[in-house]
Structure 1
Amino acid sequence: MSTDRLARRLGTGDAVVVGLSAMIGAGVFTAFAPAAAAAGSGLLLGLAIAAVVAYCNATSSARLAIRYPESGGTYVYGRERLGPFWGYLAGWGFVVGKTASCAAMALTVLAYAAPGLGQPWRGLLAVAVVAALTALNYRGVRRSTRAATVLVTLSLLALGVAVVAVLVAGGPSAHRLLPLAGTGATGILEAAGLLFFAFAGYARVATLGEEVRDPARTIPRAIAWALGIVLVVYAVVAAVLLAQLGSSTVASAGDPLAVAVAATDWPGLTPVVRTGAALAALGALLALVLGVSRTVLAMARDGHLPRGLAAVHPRFGVPHRAELAVGAVVALLAAVVDLRGAIGFSSFAVLTYYAIANASAWTLGARRVVPAVGFTGCVLLAASLPVSAVLAGAAVLAVGVVGYALRRP
C-alpha cells in the first residue's frame, strides 16, 4: 500500500461542515467592512454578484471533482484538462492566496476576542492560535472535522443571537438598505470581489476529494448544501448590519457585528457575539489549513514543491509535513500582515484559481454556459479589486511562473 495516499473517511455531513466552517468564519466577520467601504449599501448588490460567480465556480468544481476525486482541487483539474503549467498556476495561486486567508482568520480571532490589542502581543497571540490549530490538524482529519462541527454550530448560534438582538432590541431602518447616491458599478464590483473571499470555502470540499467516501455523490451534494446555507446566512446578516448601523459605520468597524449588538438595548449580548466570531474564525482557519496542506501535498507529489512535503503520517493519515510547513508560514504572516490587505490579496489569487477551474470545466464539453459565466466573472472581479491587491497578487503569481520556468529542463 502506498504511504502517500489518504484514506477515505469523510461522508456528506463531514464535507458540508468543512465547507460551512471555511465560509462562515471567512465572510460574516471580516469581508463586510471593506465591501461597505467600496460600495456603501450597494454591498448587497455586490453580494449577489459574488454569489452568482461562486455558484458557477461551485458547479464547475463539482463536475471536475467527480471526474478527478484526488487531493489538490483545481491544481489537479488544470493539470489534467489544460496542461501541467495551468495546473501548477492554479495550485500556486491557491496556496499563496489561502495562506493569506489563514492569516486573515487568525487576525479575525484577535479582532473579536482581543480588540485593541497591540504589538507585540497581537503577533505572539496570533502565532499561538495558528500553532494550536496546526497541532489539532496533525492528529487526523476526523478530529479536525469534529472540532469544526462544534465551532460552526456555536458560530451560527452567535449569529442568530446578533440578528435577533438587532431586530428586536435595535433600531434597524429599511432606508439604510438603499444604495447611496453616487454608488457606481466600479464600487459594487470591487465589493463583489472582496465578498468573494467570503464564498471561497465551498471548494475546500473538492480539495479533500481523496478523503471523502463516494466522491461522485458526496462532493456535489456537499458543495450545494454548504453554498446554499451560507448564502442565506450572508444575506440576512448583511441586511441586518446595514439596517442597524448604516454603510459608513459598517465600513469603519473592525468588528461590525459586535458594534451592531452593542448599539441595541441588549448590549450585554455583545460578549456572546464576540465569542461566536472568534470561534467562527477558528473553524475557518481549521478548514483552510486542511485545504492548503492537501494542495501542497498534491504539488509536492508532482515535484513542484519539495517532495518531502508529500509524506503522509503512518499513524494519523495526514500530510503532516505539509501541515507543519503551512502552519509555520501562516504563523509568520499573521504576526506581520494587515487584515484588510490580506483579504484583497487572497481574493485576487483565489479568483485566478477559479478562473482556471472554469476553463478546465469548459473542456468537459456539455453545459458550457456556467463555466463561461464563471470564468468571465472571475476575471472581472479580480480586475476590480483594489489596485494594491491586484499588483501584489500579480507579482506573487509572476514569481510562481518564474519558478516553474526555472525548474523546466
Structure 2
Amino acid sequence: MTGPQRLPRKIGLFQATAINMSQMVGIGPFVTIPLMVAAFGGPHAVIGFLAGAVLALVDGLIWAELGAAMPGAGGTYVYLREAFQYRTGRLMPFLFVWTAMLFIPLIMSTGVQGLVQYLTYLWPSMTTGQGDIVGIAVVALAVLLLWRKVESIGKLAVVMWTVMLISVTAVILAAFTHFDADMAFTWPDHAIDLGSNTFWLGFASGLTIGIYDYLGYNTTAYLGAEIKNPGRVLPRSIVYAIGAVMVVYLLMQIGVLGVIKWQDMTDPDNIAAQSVASAVLETTMGKSAAQVVTVLILITAFASVLAGLLGGSRVPFDAAHDRVFFRSFGKLHPRHRFPMLGLAAMGVVTAGGFLLARHIGTSATHPPLAVLISLLTTVMVIVQSFAQIAAVVVLRRRQPNLTRPYKMLLYPLPLVLAGIGWLVIYGYADKANPGVHPIEWSLAWVGLGVVAYLIWARFEKVWPFGPKEVREEYLHTESAEPDTDVVVS
C-alpha cells in the first residue's frame, strides 16, 4: 500500500485505548448481566465474566503479537494473508473478509438493539415499529459522524469514552451505596457441580456471553495502519483495555447482584430483565436518577456502535488493494481519506442485523440478543479465532526474521488456553441453543464462502486456477527489500 492511498497515522495510545474500551463497554454488560444470570441460574454468574476475561486476555496476546508485527489496515485479514499464502494462496484472507462483512456489523446490531431496549425505560409506550425507526436512525447517525477525518474521530472517541466511564461509574457507585452482600454472595446449593452437564452448559453459555462483552479489545488492530508507533501502542492498547474493563465488569456484576434479586433478572416481565442498570438506579436513588443514567447508557451504547463501525470499515480496505475483495472497497474518500464503501456496507448490514434481532427469538429461553450472540461467535471462531492461533505458529516458522516488537509471554501457553476457550464456545453452541443450530449455520456460511472464493478465483485466475503469489510484505531483513513478491507456480 503506497502512494496517495496510504492511511495517515494519527491515533496515539490514549485514543487507541479509548477506542478499544468504548467498543468493549458499550451496551453489552448492561443487557447481558440478566442473560449471564439466566445461563448460570444464580449469582455465581460472576464466573462467566471471569472466564470471559481470561479468554479475552490470552486471545488479546495473540492479537498483540500479530498486530505489532504487521500493523496494516484490516487486522485479521493481514495476518491470515501473510501466514497462509504459502499453501492456500488467498483463500483464508478471502474467507475472513467474507465472514467479517457479516459478523462485525451484526455485533454492532446487537448494540443498537440494546440501545432501543434501554430506550423503552424512558419511552415505555414505544411500539415495535417506532423502535425499528429509532434503530435505523441511530445507524445512520453513526455513519454520518464517521464520514470525516480520522483525527476527528479519535477526539470524538475520547469524548464518548468519558461518557462511558461516567455511566458505568454511576451504576457501580449507586449499587454499592445499597449493597447487600448476602444477595450477591449467597449461591444456590450445588452451584458449582463439575460433574453436572447442566453446569457445563451454563458455563459454555456464560463464556460465550462473557467473551461477547469483551469483544472490541481488538478494534485498534483493524486500525493498525492509522496507529502511531504501532509496535508499542497497539499491544498496550489491547492489554490496558482488557485489564481496565475486567475490573469494571466485575464491580458492576457484583454491585448489581447486591441490589437486584437475581430471580428478578430471569423474569422477562420484570424491568430488571430489560433495563437492569436503570432498575439499580431506580431502586437506590429514585426514578429521576435512573432516567439520567439511562441517557448516559444510551450514549455509551452509541459510542460502541461508532467505534465498531470505525474499525470494521477498514477490514475490506486492505483486502481490496490485494485483489482479495471487490476493488471498489479500496477507494478512500477524496478529501477525508477514509474507506467509503466499507463504511457504507457495514452500516447497511448493521441496520439489517438490528431489524433481524427485533423479529426473531422472542422467548425467555432464546431472547434475540442471546441468539445473535451465539450465531456471531460461532461464525467468528472458525475463520478468525482458530485461524489466528494457527497463524502465530505458522509465521514463527515461516518468517522467523519478521520484526516482532511484541512477542507473547509464556508462548505457546496463551495459544493453548485460547484454543480451549474457543473450542468450549463452539462445541457447546448447539446444546446451549437448542433449535437454533449455530454450528450448522456457521459451517454453511463458511462453505458458501469457499464456493464464492472458487468463483472469484476462477475469474481472477489465482490459486487454485493460477499461481500463488507469495508477498512477504512485513518481512524486513538486512538483505531484503520491505516488499518481496514471489510467484510460485
TM-score by length of 1: 0.93
User: Could you tell me how far apart the structure 1 residues matched to 2:92 and 2:32 are?
Assistant: 29
Partner residue, 1:195: 210
Partner residue, 2:164: 155
Partner residue, 1:241: 256
Partner residue, 1:379: 423
User: Could you tell me how far apart the structure 2 residues matched to 1:51 and 1:323 are?
Assistant: 29
User: Could you tell me how far apart the structure 2 residues matched to 1:65 and 1:265 are?
Assistant: 44
1:130 is the counterpart of 2:142: no
1:59 is the counterpart of 2:90: no
1:167 corresponds, among 164, 171, 176, to 176
Alignment of 1:210-289 (within 5 A): 210-251=225-266, 252=268, 253-289=273-309
The residue matched to 2:128 in structure 1 has which SS?
coil
- Is 2:316–2:342's contact at 8 Å kept on the other side of the alignment? yes
Deviations 1:83-127 (A, max 9, x none): 332333333333321111111111222112234422211111111
1:310 corresponds, among 313, 319, 330, to 330
1:112 is the counterpart of 2:132: no
Compute the displacement of 1:16 (Å). 0.5
Compute the displacement of 1:51 (Å). 1.0
Partner residue, 2:386: 355
Amino acid at match of 2:150: V
- Is 1:124–1:335's contact at 8 Å kept on the other side of the alignment? no
- Is 1:158–1:272's contact at 8 Å kept on the other side of the alignment? no
Amino acid at match of 1:6: L
- Is 2:183–2:261's contact at 8 Å kept on the other side of the alignment? no
- Is 1:103–1:330's contact at 8 Å kept on the other side of the alignment? yes
Partner residue, 2:452: 403
User: Could you tell me how far apart the structure 2 residues matched to 1:36 and 1:301 are?
Assistant: 45
Partner residue, 2:220: 205
User: Could you tell me how far apart the structure 1 residues matched to 2:450 and 2:260 are?
Assistant: 44
Change (3 A) 1:375 1:63: same
Alignment of 1:330-349 (within 5 A): 330-338=350-358, 339-340=368-369, 341-349=371-379
RMSD across aligned positions (CA): 2.0
1:321 corresponds, among 312, 336, 341, to 341
Partner residue, 2:149: 140
Amino acid at match of 1:401: V
1:99 is the counterpart of 2:108: no
- Is 2:78–2:93's contact at 8 Å kept on the other side of the alignment? yes
- Between 1:285-294 and 1:41-50, the stretch displaced more is 41-50
- Is 2:19–2:161's contact at 8 Å kept on the other side of the alignment? no
Show structure 1 runs of 5+ residues with no match. Answer: none
Partner residue, 2:474: none
User: Could you tell me how far apart the structure 2 residues matched to 1:255 and 1:318 are?
Assistant: 36
- Is 2:23–2:219's contact at 8 Å kept on the other side of the alignment? yes
User: Could you tell me how far apart the structure 1 residues matched to 2:277 and 2:52 are?
Assistant: 21
Partner residue, 2:462: none
- Is 1:197–1:346's contact at 8 Å kept on the other side of the alignment? no
Change (3 A) 1:179 1:72: farther
Compute the displacement of 1:303 (Å). 3.2
1:177 is the counterpart of 2:185: yes
Partner residue, 2:475: none
Compute the displacement of 1:134 (Å). 0.3
User: Could you tell me how far apart the structure 2 residues matched to 1:395 and 1:405 are?
Assistant: 15
- Between 1:299-308 and 1:209-218, the stretch displaced more is 299-308
Deviations 1:15-38 (A, max 9, x none): 101101000105322322222221
- Is 1:26–1:197's contact at 8 Å kept on the other side of the alignment? no
- Between 1:294-303 and 1:284-293, the stretch displaced more is 294-303
Amino acid at match of 1:271: Q
Compute the displacement of 1:179 (Å). 4.0
Deviations 1:242-273 (A, max 9, x none): 22223332344122111122222534310122
Show structure 2 runs of 5+ residues with no match. Answer: 192-198, 359-367, 397-406, 459-489
Change (3 A) 1:179 1:71: farther
- Between 1:375-384 and 1:275-284, the stretch displaced more is 375-384
- Is 2:94–2:325's contact at 8 Å kept on the other side of the alignment? no
Partner residue, 1:81: 83
Provide the aligned length of Structure 1 versus Structure 2.
408
Compute the displacement of 1:382 (Å). 2.4
- Is 2:217–2:242's contact at 8 Å kept on the other side of the alignment? yes
- Is 2:317–2:342's contact at 8 Å kept on the other side of the alignment? yes
Partner residue, 1:32: 33
- Is 2:74–2:315's contact at 8 Å kept on the other side of the alignment? yes
